Amino acid sequence: MEQLIQHVINGAMVGSTYAVVAVGFALTFSVLRVINVAHPEVFMLAMFTGLVVVQALTQNFLIVLVIAATAALVAGLAIERAVLRPLRRADLLMPMIATAGVSVFLQYGVQGVAGPDELRFPRILPFAPLEVGAITVTSLQLITFGIAVLILLACSFYVRRTRWGLAARAVAERPDIAATFGVNVSRVAQITVGLSSFMAGAAGVGIAVLYGSAWSFVGLLYGLKSWVCMLVAGNRHIEAVMLVGIMLGILEALTTAYVSSSFRDAVAFVVLIVVLYKRPDGLFGSYSY
Amino acid sequence: MSALLEVAGLEVAYGAVRAVKGVDLVLHAGEIRVILGANGAGKTSILKAIFGLVKPRAGRIAFQGQELRGLEPHEVGSRGVAWVPEGRQIWATLTVRQNLVMGAFVNNKRAAVERRMAELFDRFPILAERRSQLAGSLSGGEQQMLAIARALMAEPKLLLMDEPSLGLAPLIIRRVFDLVREINASGISILMVEQNARQSLRVANWAYLLENGAIAGSGSPAALASTEEIRRVYLGG
C-alpha cells in the first residue's frame, strides 16, 4: 500500500508539470482557436535559458525561474505577433503548420548551439528527503510541485476572477460578439499567449531541475501529452485540463511501476483513444467551433 | 436634423457574391428604423459592415459624423454602438451576471456597472432571479431578454438589432417589440433588421425594404404597409 501511495505521489509531481504546460496549450487553443505546435518549444527554450543563467549568472532558483519564464514569455509573444496574428482568420490548418515550422526551427536551432545530447542541469534546489512512514518525498519534488500548484491556482484565478480572464472566456466562446462589446481580441490573444508561455517557461525550469537535464527535443513528448490532456479533458474548463494533467502523471507512474516503463509514454494515447471514442467533446466538454 | 448614422453606397461582397449593393440609409437620433427583407437579402451583412465584422468593398459609414470604416469591431463597440445579434448569441458558458458584466466591458466602473445592472434587473426580473445561472440554461425568450439587457449594459447611443423576433413564441415577440419601444423612449436610437413586418412596422418611424442586397423602397410604416408588395409578401394580405 505504501508503495502504491509513493507511486501516486511521484506521478502527481510529474503530472503537475504536464498540467501547467497543458493548461497553457488549452488556453491558447480556446481563445485563439489555433493549435500552437510551438508552445512546447517555448518550454524547452526556458530550460536552456535557465541553464545559461545558472552557468553564467546565479544558482538562485527563484531568479533562474523568473528570468527563464520571462524569456519564454518574450518568445511566446514573438510567435503570436509574427505567426499567429497574421493567420488569425485563416483556416485552422494554416497556423498549425506555421507553428510546426517554428517548432522545428527552434528544436534544430537549439540543437545546433547546444548539441544533440542531453545537457546536465545543475541541481540548484536542495535534495533533502522527507520521510513519512515508508513514503519518501524530496524537498526538490515538493518545491517544484508547490510552484506548479501556485501557477495553476493563479491561472484559475485569472480566468475566473479577473476582467480580462472573463473577456478571454467570452472570446473563447464567441470572439465576434466579444469584439463588438469592446473587447480587443488581439490584446486578449497577447495576454493569453504571454500567460501560457510564462507558465510553460516556469514548468520547463521545474522539469529541468527535477530531472537534472535539458534537451532540445524535450518539447516533442511534452507537446503531445499536453495535447492529449486538453483533448481528454475538453477545453471548456481549465481546471479539468489541470486535473487530467495530474492524473496522467499518476497513470504513467503506475504503469512504470506495475506494467513496464516501456509503456509509460503510450498510456496517454491509449487514454485518448478510449475517451474520444466514448466522449468526442472530452470528459468535461469543449467549446463548439 | 443631422444623422446619427449615415450609410452611403455600401457594398459588401463574399468572394464573387455581392451581398449588399450600394445601400444608402440614414438614422436620426431618437428614431427606430427597420430594414425589412427576406432571408439572404443582405440585412445582417449591413449590420456586420457597420460593426467592422465584414470589410465593405465600397461606401461610407458615418456615426455621429465620424467614419467607422476601417475601425476594428472593438473600436466601434467603444463608440456607443451596441448590438443584439441574430439568434441571441449570449455567452452560454457564462452566468447571466457575467454576460451583463461583459456587456459593460467598455464602461466598466464598478459602481456604474452595479447601478446599471440593478436597473436592468428591475426591468427584467427573470434575469435577476437567474443571475447566477449559466446563460445557456435559459429559455429562448429569456435569452433574448438577456441579449437585449447585455447590449443595454453598454449604455449605447445606437442599438443594432438583428431579427430580435427570430425563433420566439408570438407572446414573447410582442413583449420584445414593446421593449424596443421602451428602450427607444429612454433615448436610445435603434436600427433593426427584421422579417416580421407586422410587428416591426408597429414600432418603427421609418422602414427600408431590402431585396437582393439593394434598397427596393423606403418610407413611413403607414406608407410602406399600404404598398401591394409589402402586404402580399410580409403582411399576408
Q: What is the DSSP string of B17-80?
A: EEEEEEEEEEEETT-EEEEEE-TTSSHHHHHHHHHTSS--SEEEEEETTEE-TT--HHHHHTTT
CB-nearest partner of B78 from A173, A182, A236: A182
**d(Cα A27, Cα A236) in Å, to the nearest integer?**
9
* pLDDT > 90 in chain A, percent: 56
Contact B13/A at CB under 8 A: no
Long-range contacts of B57-60 (CB under 8 A, 24+ apart): B57/B11, B57/B12, B57/B13, B58/B9, B58/B10, B58/B11, B58/B22, B59/B7, B59/B8, B59/B9, B59/B10, B59/B11, B59/B22, B59/B23, B60/B6, B60/B7, B60/B8, B60/B9, B60/B10
Note the pLDDT of residue A51.
Answer: 96
Cβ within 8 Å, pair A170-B91: yes
- Between CA A149 and CA A151 the distance in angstroms is 5
Calculate ∠ Cα B47-B51-B54, nearest 5°: 80
- Chain centroid to Cα B134, Å, comes to 24
Residue-averaged pLDDT of chain A: 91
Asked if B83 reaches chain A (Cβ–Cβ under 8 Å), the answer is yes
Average pLDDT over residues A193-202: 93
Residue A169 pLDDT exceeds 60: yes
C-alpha closest to that of B3 among B21, B22, B25, B20: B25
More confident residue, A86 or A285: A86
Amino acid at B29: A
Q: Do A173 and B91 touch (CB under 8 A)?
A: yes
- Say whether B103 and A181 touch across the interface (CB within 8 A): yes
Confidence label for A222 from pLDDT (cuts 50, 70 and 90): confident
A–B: how many Cβ contacts below 8 A? Answer: 65
Q: Helices (DSSP H) in B52-185: which residue ranges?
A: 73-77, 96-103, 110-123, 125-129, 140-153, 170-185
Q: pLDDT, tens digit, for every residue of A59-100?
A: 999 999 999 999 999 999 999 999 999 998 788 899 999 999
Q: Indicate yes or no: CB of A182 within 8 angstroms of CB of B101.
A: no
Rounded CA gap, A73 and A80, in Å? Answer: 10
- Is the sign of the CA dihedral B74, B76, B78, B81 positive or negative? negative
Evaluate if residue A210 carries a pLDDT over 90.
no
CB A81 within 8 A of CB A146: no
Which DSSP string corresponds to B183-195? HHHTT-EEEEEES
pLDDT tens string A15-24: 998 898 899 8
Q: Is the pLDDT of residue B234 over 70?
A: no
Question: What's the mean pLDDT when you consider all of chain B?
Answer: 91
Closest CA to A185 of A25, A286, A34, A22: A34
Q: What is the pLDDT of residues B85-103, one digit of tens each?
A: 998 899 999 999 999 999 9
Which alpha helices (H) appear in A34-138, and where do they start and end?
A: 39-56, 61-79, 93-114
Is the predicted pLDDT of residue B231 greater than 80, yes or no? no
Percentage of chain A beyond pLDDT 70 is 99
Instruction: Give the minimum alpha-carbon distance from A288 to chain B in angstroms, rounded to a whole number.
Output: 11
Q: How confident is the model at residue B235 (pLDDT cuts 50, 70, 90)?
A: low
Q: Quick check: helix, strand or coil at residue B84?
A: strand
- CA-based nearest residue to A163, from B69, B202, B110, B135: B110
CB-nearest to A182 from B74, B85, B93 is B74
Decide if B101 touches A, using CB distance below 8 A: yes
Place of cell 526538490: A140
Closest chain A residue to B51, measured at CA: A180
Residue ranges per domain, chain A? Answer: 2-278
Mean per-residue pLDDT for A257-265?
A: 88
Averaged over A36-52, what is the pLDDT? Answer: 94
* CA–CA min distance A226, chain B (Å): 23
**CA B90 to each of CA A162, B173, B222: distance values in angstroms, whole numbers, following the listed order:** 20, 18, 34
Element (H, E) at B232: helix B228-233
Q: Is B88 on the interface with A (CB under 8 A)?
A: no
Can you tell me the ipTM of this complex?
Answer: 0.91
Give the C-alpha separation, A216 to B55, whole Å: 43
Out of B78, B93, B106, closest to residue A236 by CB: B93
Between CA A81 and CA A102, with CA A193 as vertex, the angle to 5 degrees is 55
User: Would an 8 Å CB–CB cutoff place B95 in contact with chain A?
Assistant: no
What pLDDT does residue A288 have?
Answer: 64
Q: Are A166 and B98 within 8 A, CB to CB? A: yes
Q: Which residues does chain A have within 8 Å of residue B102's beta carbon, measured at their own beta carbons? A: 166-167, 170, 178, 181, 183
| CATH class in words for A2-278 | mainly alpha
Residue B237, pLDDT > 60, answer: no
- Pairing relation of β-strands A213-214 and A135-138? unpaired
Q: Which residue type occupies A185?
A: V
In the structure, what pLDDT confidence band is assigned to residue A289 with cuts at 50, 70 and 90? low
Distance from CA of A223 to the nearest CA of B (A): 27
Q: Which among A170, A180, A183 is the nearest to B83, CB-wise?
A: A180
Pick left, alpha or beta for residue A137 (phi over 0 → left; psi -120 to 50 → alpha; otherwise beta).
Answer: beta
Fill in the amino acid letter for B16: A
In terms of pLDDT, which residue wins out, B197 or A38? A38
Q: Which residues of A touch B74 (CB under 8 A)?
A: 179-185
Q: Which residue has the cell 499518476?
A: A250
> What Å distances lie between residue B31 and A219, B27, B51, B178, B193, CA to CA?
59, 7, 19, 15, 14
| pTM attached to this predicted model | 0.87
CB contact under 8 A, B91 and A182: no
Q: What pLDDT score does B61 carry?
A: 96
Amino acid A66: pLDDT: 96
pLDDT in tens, B151-184: 999 999 999 999 998 888 888 888 889 999 999 9
* B77 with A182: Cβ contact below 8 A: yes
Mutation to test the B interface, candidates A159, A177, A180, most B Cβ within 10 Å = A180
CA A187 to chain centre: 21
For residue A6, the tally of other CB atoms under 10 A from its CB is: 17
Size of chain B in residues? 237
At B208, give phi and psi (nearest 5°): -115, 145
Chain segment A225-250, per-residue pLDDT in tens: 888 998 999 888 888 999 999 999 99
How do B206-211 and B32-37 pair as beta strands? parallel
- Residue indicated by cell numbers 483533448: A231
- pLDDT category of residue B29 using cuts at 50, 70 and 90: very high
For residue A131, is pLDDT > 90? no
Mutate to test the interface with A, among B96, B105, B106, B137 (most CBs of A within 10 A): B105
pLDDT score at B65 = 92
Residues above pLDDT 70, as percent of chain B: 96
